[in-house]
Amino acid sequence: MTDKTPTLYEWAGGTDAFVRLTDAFYARVVNDDLLAPLFAHMSPEHARNVAIWLAEVFGGPATYTQEHGGYPHMVDKHIGMAITEPQRRRWVNLIQDAADEAGLPGDPEFRAAFLGYIEWGTRLARHNSRPGADVLRDAPVPHWDWGVAPPYQP
Query: In order of start, what are the domains of the chain with their CATH numbers?
Result: 8-129 (1.10.490.10)
User: For position 3, what pLDDT does the model report?
Assistant: 66
pLDDT in tens, the chain (154 residues): 556 889 999 999 999 999 999 999 999 999 999 999 999 888 999 999 999 999 999 999 999 999 999 888 888 888 989 999 999 999 999 999 999 999 999 999 999 999 999 999 999 999 999 999 888 888 888 999 988 655 555 5
Q: 77 with 26: CB under 8 angstroms?
A: no
- Could you tell me the sign of the dihedral formed by the alpha carbons of 105, 108, 113, 115, in that order? positive
DSSP string, 49-73: HHHHHHHHHTT--SHHHHHH-HHHH
In this structure, the number of other CB atoms found within 10 A of the CB of residue 150 comes to 7
pTM score, whole prediction: 0.91
